[in-house]
Structure 1
Amino acid sequence: MRAGRVRRGAVAVVAGCAGLVLAVGCGEERAGGSGAPSGSASPSTAEEYAEAARTKHDRAWPDVAEKCRDVPTGPAAAASPSDGRPADDEPPPENPKYAENHAYKQTTDVSAGELCRGEAHAARIAAALDDADPADVQDEQGIRRVLEDLGYTPDTVNARQAGASGVGWDVRVGGAGPCISGNTDWPGEIDVHGVYIEGTGCTEPAGGH
């Protein structure tokens, strides 16, 4: 399944959880909250680990969990090439090595349930950024404050300066699966996607090899 995208301002979710709009105040409990129920057996398979992670996430973010309660949570495919090559409706590039040269941008795929949760978090972030004073989100510290005030722990938030007033940022929500990323130089869109195959986590690699 391909990554999703949220547009700021209207806070519209365009894939996975169509029509989802969340208030900024939802999910006040931090994502680092309690995990599997006390006394439950330790997970031993990938499916059990994934279920335990979703349980932990859904306890920390009950409003997100409710929005995505009926969305399938099946396992994601191994990888998606959509970030490393043109979309199906785009003409082939003049350079036949386009996909190879952009392979570093490939991300792992996400399931429908992970995409839904990711888009719900993206909607929260979009609303918070729209409400913030523009002067307060022109540097790394300002973006981090906005994201951490929403309940995302410092170890899951990344921000880096990109010019005088541009800041690239990304968040990894534990248990939800996908990454959420944006850039204040392009404030109209927030992307939901899998981690980068090159091993950089949620932060897009600077270039290929």
Structure 2
Amino acid sequence: MTSRRTPAAVLFAAGLLALTACGTTSTTGDGAAPSPSAYPSVDWAARARDAAARHDARFPEIVAQCAGRATTLPPVPGATSTDPAADKYAENNGFKRELPDTPMAQCRGEAHATRIREALTGEGKTVPRTEAELRTALEGLGYTVDPGAISATSADGGRLWFEMHVYDGGPCVGGQLHAPVRIETHGPYLEGGCWQPRGGH
């Protein structure tokens, strides 16, 4: 009597074969396992130095303004609250916390914010009113504007926000271009990125 296998049984057997293959080590043509040098590790410190050098070459005036500032993080103050409700509130809103910045990074962030503010809203300037105008203005200043960095809405006569990371060792800079105009710097959020996370627990 011939056995008949349903398509489901065939798929199940194929899945088992795939699982038994997991964890096996691939070998070279002569059967020897590849040497560890075949998978070089990433030198993150070198990448950070290269990124900082690119930033400094693109924005020499920012570098000059912040020369001599400390590059170490300030000490983090210990928790002093004895109020359980305050502790719970802080825990629930922890997703809004920003990572600390060194004095050097803070100085550079403020310098970038000032540079952008003066270029977009200074005397005789026409403040961008659309996403396209803002993107063009920021890119004209030498910044990389990722998709999603600009947010606009037509409600209440039109509102325009932006949040961007100044790449290659720079800070988060953002704000609003509708009244009252506000452009400032801040550290990236604990959960990552420059836009404030919208969720919590």
Residue 50 of structure 1: CA displacement? 3.3
**2:99 corresponding residue in structure 1:** 108
Q: For the residues of structure 2 that align with 1:175 and 1:118, how far apart are their CA atoms?
A: 13
**1:53 corresponding residue in structure 2:** 51
**1:32 corresponding residue in structure 2:** none
Runs of 4+ in structure 1 off by over 6 angstroms are none
Q: For the residues of structure 2 that align with 1:189 and 1:165, how far apart are their CA atoms?
A: 15
Name the structure with the higher helix share: 2
CA RMSD of aligned residues (A): 3.2
Q: TM-score normalized by structure 2?
A: 0.63
Conserved 8 A contact 1:172-1:179: yes
Conserved 8 A contact 2:144-2:166: no
Residue 49 of structure 1: CA displacement? 3.9
Larger RCO (CA under 8 A, 6+ residues apart): 1
Q: TM-score normalized by structure 1?
A: 0.61
Conserved 8 A contact 2:131-2:151: yes
Q: How many pairs does the alignment contain?
A: 152
Q: How does 1:11-50 map to 2 (within 5 A)?
A: 44=43, 46=45, 48-50=46-48
**1:125 corresponding residue in structure 2:** 116
Q: For the residues of structure 1 that align with 2:47 and 2:95, how far apart are their CA atoms?
A: 28
**1:175 corresponding residue in structure 2:** 168
Conserved 8 A contact 2:145-2:164: no
Local SS of the residue matching 1:182: strand
**1:193 corresponding residue in structure 2:** 186
Q: Report percent identity of matched pairs.
A: 35
Q: How does 1:198-209 map to 2 (within 5 A)?
A: 198-199=191-192, 201-209=193-201
Q: Mind listing any 5+ residue stretches in structure 2 that lack a counterpart?
A: 1-41
Amino acid at match of 1:102: N
Q: For the residues of structure 1 that align with 2:116 and 2:129, how far apart are their CA atoms?
A: 16
Local SS of the residue matching 2:146: helix
When residues 96 and 108 of structure 1 are mapped into structure 2, their CA distance, relative to the original with a 3 A threshold, is closer
Residue 156 of structure 1: CA displacement? 8.1
Whether 1:140 aligns to 2:148 is no
Q: Mind listing any 5+ residue stretches in structure 1 that lack a counterpart?
A: 1-42, 82-87
Q: For the residues of structure 2 that align with 1:58 and 1:157, how far apart are their CA atoms?
A: 25
